[in-house]
Structure 1
């Protein structure tokens, strides 16, 4: 599972670069929307992260970059789409609405929706090779497990302010990582 999640980090890189082309024409402002989402996540902080240090958790997101040369573009778009959808589900929940400033939350959800639309035009309905389809399923399952862990954590912590702060930081790091990796390419 760690390898599959490591691939997620590389897949994120593919979605944020103006020079990156995976056979799909993402809108020119895709990178700007990503930066705006990170800025919104920064503004959403309501309590000190230091106060929540006892609630920290490793959700298993891969922080080191791995060789993504074997990742097929259909897999990249599918996994990215899943990641943005799961993030939208978490921040679009009823519990999230009670935890965050509604203006900032609405901005984040709008940005995620735009990214989902951009990536939706890039999704391939069916993979031609059986092995590729299996690889995509494995990657999608890995993304789902990662987000299930986040949802379970929120539930176990009874959607406390600190739990939301830890999740906000986690999602912000995942989005920031992809931008930083792209800059190194």
Structure 2
């Protein structure tokens, strides 16, 4: 587990370094890190998806909820946080380390941790203790269930190379959808700061 010291160092630097505490202002840097993270996940591809057609699965990503405009700011932050946390959880296992190029995997994890650190600051600001329970219901619960399905799928497929490729593509799709949610959060914050 050679990647852990550098992951921990990255988390410390993001949490305490200059600009690490962004409050609820999701900066352009946050969005850029998200795009870079998505690009890294794309580069991790090891198999052609056409070799894995028999392993395809509809994980029922709650796309309309994520891309639609019905979420309040606290819910949107909670959903995005859950999505990044669960993605990190999937790719932060021993089996994941065996499946992917370790350099790309470590950079991908660091990107997720940077985004999570930004969102942790936001969650603390927009959600009081009472709001925290509300944020964990509904949309966030739907996101949790979606990722539970991915975990179960990997187990059922024995963490095969094709299963990992299908999951990589699915996580790419969900993280791509999250970019519109991040942009909306930036606009919400801009609207709040302009008043």
The bucket for the TM-score relative to the shorter chain is 0.7 to 0.9
Q: What displacement does 1:180 show?
A: 6.2
**Contact persistence 1:90–1:151 (CA under 8 A):** yes
TM-score of the pair, normalised by structure 2: 0.73
| d(CA) in 1 for partners of 2:176, 2:137 | 25
Aligned counterpart, 1:126: 128
Query: What does 1:102-141 align with in structure 2 at a 5 Å threshold?
Result: 102-124=102-124, 125-126=127-128, 128=130, 133-134=133-134, 136-141=136-141
Q: Does 1:155 align with 2:155?
A: yes
| d(CA) in 2 for partners of 1:77, 1:64 | 16
Aligned counterpart, 2:84: 84
| d(CA) in 2 for partners of 1:64, 1:127 | 27
- What runs of 5+ residues in structure 2 fail to find an aligned partner? 1-22, 188-195
- What runs of 5+ residues in structure 1 fail to find an aligned partner? 1-22
Structure 1 range deviating more: 48-57 or 29-38: 29-38
Equivalenced residue count is 159
- Relative to structure 1, the CA distance from residue 81 to residue 64 in structure 2 (aligned partners, 3 Å threshold; closer, same or farther) is closer
* Structure 2 SS opposite 1:82: helix
**Contact persistence 2:75–2:139 (CA under 8 A):** yes
**Contact persistence 2:74–2:135 (CA under 8 A):** no
Q: State the Cα RMSD in Å.
A: 2.4
